[in-house]
């Protein structure tokens, strides 16, 4: 129901609720993208360290091999974290798209 001075129907409670939900979803998506960017930068740093550790382990002693295993585990952990963040973001984007489809044209 459009009220006087309300050409877009924002006075209708259901539209207000949908718009608030969309706003919150967009905020969450932006936060996840920022966090994913930070994790990706950290992942690149750990990949660089891991490459050096793997080279050292190939010609080094048992300590170098142990450190190479630890750095490889760090890389896997950051890759897993990044994949989790991306899947959460995709779920929120899908939810947002469904909500956008409910809005009147």
Coil vs helix vs strand at 85: helix
User: Residue 68: exposed, middle, or buried by beta-carbon count in 10 A (0-12, 13-18, 19+)?
Assistant: buried
pLDDT of 89 reads: 98
pLDDT higher than 90, residue 85: yes
* Tens digit of each residue's pLDDT (9 = 90 or more) over 33-50: 999 999 999 999 999 999
Q: Token pair 């750095």 is at which residue?
A: 71
Q: Tell me if the domain spanning 13-102 has CATH number 1.10.3470.
A: no
pLDDT higher than 60, residue 3: no
pTM: 0.80
Rg of the chain in Å (alpha carbons): 23
The answer to whether the beta carbons of residues 4 and 12 sit under 8 Å apart is: no
């Amino acid at each position: 129901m459009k009220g006087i001075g309300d050409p877009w129907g924002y006075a209708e409670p259901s539209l207000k609720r949908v718009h608030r939900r969309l706003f919150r979803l967009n905020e969450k998506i932006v936060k996840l993208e920022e966090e994913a960017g930070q994790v990706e930068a950290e992942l690149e740093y750990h990949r660089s360290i891991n490459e050096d550790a793997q080279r050292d382990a190939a010609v080094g002693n048992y300590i170098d091999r142990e450190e190479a295993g630890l750095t490889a585990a760090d890389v896997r952990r950051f890759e897993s974290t990044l994949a989790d963040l991306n899947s959460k973001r995709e779920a929120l984007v899908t939810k947002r798209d469904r909500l956008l489809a409910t809005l009147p044209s």
